[in-house]
Chain A
Amino acid sequence: EAQVTQNPRYLITVTGKKLTVTCSQNMNHEYMSWYRQDPGLGLRQIYYSMNVEVTDKGDVPEGYKVSRKEKRNFPLILESPSPNQTSLYFCASNSGQGSSTDTQYFGPGTRLTVL
């Protein structure tokens, strides 16, 4: 089954404690993204990757890091989480062709609370 998986699904942590949210896709997609979703603000892109070892900042990259060492995995790293990073996070992937029929597949989401 084609899917994007994220772990953990729920996480409560404290300010400053480094954490990693993993993301993996089994569709051989080149393009992967991380988004955060906050009430009244919609989904905003944090980082994206167009292929292995190619990453770039999205609209809200501050406080986040990513890596793309393998095509299937795109972890999101919070080196020193702060309460304003409390949010619902989605990983997504698509083939990267950018056509009007290209579907972006989302993972199930990670609900992060930073105390």
Chain B
Amino acid sequence: RKEVEQDPGPFNVPEGATVAFNCTYSNSASQSFFWYRQDCRKEPKLLMSVYSSGNEDGRFTAQLNRASQYISLLIRDSKLSDSATYLCVVNKNTGFQKLVFGTGTRLLVSP
């Protein structure tokens, strides 16, 4: 079983739609959680950290459920520019970052 699992997609949605991505992780001792965005053939960039209480950044909402070892990302009012691959990332270490990356979920937003 992979340490971090995501549905690879692609998710094809029209502009304005709401879309949700899910991710599960296997190591219950994981310390912190992130969503990164990766455009085609480019480097990953941090989209947002995920906090236990859930957090929101504009149209993006991230949720963490430690009991179920489950992370989610909700994108509201999708834009064409949201088309990218979204990587679920888990830090399984304390003291310094030991990041484990999911394989990513691809999102395609169409006009």
Cβ of B96 and Cβ of A98 under 8 Å apart? yes
Cβ of A100 and Cβ of B51 under 8 Å apart? yes
Contacts of A43 in B (CB 8 A): 44, 87, 101
Contacts of B46 in A (CB 8 A): 103-104
Shortest CB distance B22–A (Å)? 16
Contacts of B31 in A (CB 8 A): 98, 100
Mind listing 28 A-B residue pairs with CB under 8 Å?
A: A31-B96, A31-B97, A35-B101, A40-B103, A42-B104, A43-B44, A44-B101, A45-B98, A45-B99, A88-B41, A96-B96, A96-B97, A98-B91, A98-B93, A98-B94, A98-B96, A100-B33, A100-B49, A100-B91, A101-B49, A103-B46, A104-B46, A104-B99, A106-B43, A107-B43, A108-B43, A109-B42, A109-B43
Q: Which residues of B contact A (CB under 8 A)?
A: 4, 8, 31-33, 41-46, 49, 51, 87, 91, 93-99, 101-104
The docked-state distance in angstroms from the alpha carbon of A79 to that of B92 is: 31
Interface residues on A, range: 20 to 34
Contacts of A111 in B (CB 8 A): 41
From 76 to 115 in chain A, residues with beta carbon under 8 angstroms from any chain B beta carbon are: 88, 90, 94, 96-104, 106-109, 111
- Which residue of B is nearest A91, CB measured? B43
State the 10 A-B residue pairs at the shortest beta-carbon distance, nearest first: A106-B43, A100-B32, A42-B103, A43-B101, A42-B101, A98-B96, A103-B46, A96-B96, A100-B49, A98-B97
Q: Which residues of A contact B (CB under 8 A)?
A: 31, 35, 40-45, 50, 88, 90, 94, 96-104, 106-109, 111
Among B45, B96, B99, B101, the residue within 8 A (CB) of A50 is B96
